[in-house]
Structure 1
Amino acid sequence: MARIVVLGAGGQVGQSIVAEAVKRGHEVTAVDQDKNSLNGISRQANAVAGDVTSRDVIQKQAQNADVVVVALTGSARPEHANAARAIVDVAGKLGNKAPAVIQVSSGGLLENTDGERILDTKDYPASERKEALDQADALDVLRAAKGSVKWSSIAPPPRNFGPGRRRDAYRTASDRPVVDAQGNIGISFEDFALAVIDEVEKPRFRNKRYTVGN
């Protein structure tokens, strides 16, 4: 059993990750700025309302955790990068006792077949670009981290990512989206959560960015 803290647990992705972790018998603390959003999480998780970019909040929760999963949604401000900076700072203070970090990233940071970042292509939704750029900054913070910071960054597909049928299977790739035999990309929240908790239990992508899809 692992002690897992999920930041941004009130969002749909965060709720799916909490549910998967609880189902597997892990001890879960679910943190979100919107306490009302925590009403939807599993009752077996410990719900905590707090600023998910605050060093004090993160340190309080991280000091007894094995893994911190960052599953923030939205980008009214540079919260992804701010959260990453706070986590790196806390991990540095905790040293060898610092938890591993799994960041839920953006599919817009993946590359197309021309090697171009998907968020930089003309077809990428303008409404999602600000958050993707914020995620890019967060990934840069993690990559630049030194010392005791153990991190993984998992990007969902850039489209067809939402609630759906659980297949209990997924495939991984590094810089480009996973594509099936018909040329489709996508994954459900449920199977994405499966991949996240698999990385908690058996880390395969330590200090790397990767992606998953069906």
Structure 2
Amino acid sequence: FPDAIKPEASEAGDVLDDLRASDESLDWFFISPAGGFGSFAPGEETGTYRVGGEILLVDDEGTSFISGADFGRAVADEITTPRHRRARFTVAY
């Protein structure tokens, strides 16, 4: 795990722990993007993405990527059509 992002990842893990410990009345979801997601790799919008569980999604070559636009689409889709109440899930191509 790259040292440069450990503090941010650790903080996100703490947030997820807090959400999981919250009262059942709190409705939340937590999306973990693909490994190749970020401002360093904006990518092109495809309009599609895959949804996984707790494990990082990779393709047949072991690549894990999603564009900012498609990650945003995944967030908007979950808000408009909830499928992961009180759960973490992953998205990638």
1:184 and 2:63 aligned = yes
1:196 and 2:78 aligned = no
2: CA distance, partners of 1:147 / 1:141: 12
Q: TM-score, normalised by structure 1?
A: 0.41
Letter of the 1:138 partner, please give it: V
Q: Which residue of 1 aligns with 2:12?
A: 135
Letter of the 1:196 partner, please give it: V
- The alignment of Structure 1 onto Structure 2 pairs a total of residues equal to 90
Q: Which residue of 2 aligns with 1:125?
A: 2
SS in 2 for 1:154: strand
Choose between structure 1 and 2: higher helix proportion: 1
Residue segments in structure 1 that go unaligned for 5+ positions in a row = 1-123
Structure 1 outlier segments of 4+, above 3 Å? none
Shift in Å, 1:165: 0.4
Choose between structure 1 and 2: higher strand proportion: 1
Residues 30-75 of structure 1, C-alpha deviations (whole Å, 9 max, x = no match): xxxxxxxxxxxxxxxxxxxxxxxxxxxxxxxxxxxxxxxxxxxxxx
Give the alignment's Cα RMSD to 1 decimal: 1.0
Q: TM-score, normalised by structure 2?
A: 0.91
Letter of the 2:37 partner, please give it: F
Matches within 5 A, 1:1-214: 124-158=1-35, 160-162=36-38, 163-214=42-93
2: CA distance, partners of 1:147 / 1:184: 36
2: CA distance, partners of 1:200 / 1:153: 11
Residue segments in structure 2 that go unaligned for 5+ positions in a row = none
1: CA distance, partners of 2:62 / 2:88: 22
